[in-house]
Amino acid sequence: MSAIDDIIADFEVIDDWEERYRYVIELGRTLVPLPEAAHNDDNKVRGCASQVWLETHVDAGPPPRLSFRGDSDAHIVKGLVAIVIAIFSGRTAEEILALDPEALFASLGLREHLTPQRSNGVNSMVERIRRDARAALAAA
């Protein structure tokens, strides 16, 4: 079972949104710490109200496979970073570009329970990951 499958299964047994928010915060606490040096302009995700950093590692393959580490200065956003990483990390560039995370976000009920700013931040993270996947394919 993948990390995102575990998250989906956990969401299915948590009915209360207060509990789900706490769970999202806990997910953020499980992230591998991002070194201070990685909190830089290159890794900063633009379009997020909170500070968000995503570090991308590309295994050239073939095919190129990407993995991500991330961090945020806001607890809930850090949990959203963990969810986005669980969706995309470890996949090939082509898989990343083919994935549509909207269905997953809808099944978790995330979009309807996020502020517009946080929703925009999630969109910015996804677009950043897709941009890195396109770059990895172009370099392959």
Catalytically annotated residues:
48
Please tell me the distance from the alpha carbon of residue 54 to that of residue 1, in angstroms, as a whole number. 24
